[in-house]
Amino acid sequence: MSSEDLERYESEMELALYREYRDVVSIFKYVVETDRRFYLCNAVDVKVRSETGDAYFEVTMSDAWVWDIYRPARFAKTVKVLTFKDVNVEELQESETQLPSAD
């Protein structure tokens, strides 16, 4: 496989992932961004932990969809993420999840 073929394959996978995102975003309530992944979910809980002295975040999500081009199954019942980096949680507004009408 040439580097051009690999690049084309990855571009096609990214486009398919974006289309899937566009199809499912309206069924979720939250967007969660960590340093490694982007999630859609319907419930999220973020706790700051510091048992070892260093603070870290424990993020628990349920009914989630993971933006990951290499995952064969992107839907997950429960996801738990531990990270020392920033976590961004946003509640989606209905207008953000609706596609523009074709008038």
Contact 46, 59 (CB under 8 A): yes
Reply yes or no on whether the pLDDT at 100 is more than 80. no
pLDDT value at position 52?
77
Q: How far is CA 23 from CA 20, 32, 49, in A?
A: 5, 18, 35
Alpha carbon distance 44, 22 (integer Å): 21
pLDDT value at position 97?
52
Tokens matching residue 97: 């999840």
Task: Among 23-32, 48-57, 90-99, name the one with the lowest average pLDDT.
Answer: 90-99
pLDDT value at position 99?
54
Give this prediction's pTM: 0.80
In the chain, what percentage of residues exceed pLDDT 70? 91
> Mean pLDDT, to the nearest integer, of 28-35?
96
Reply yes or no on whether the pLDDT at 98 is more than 90. no
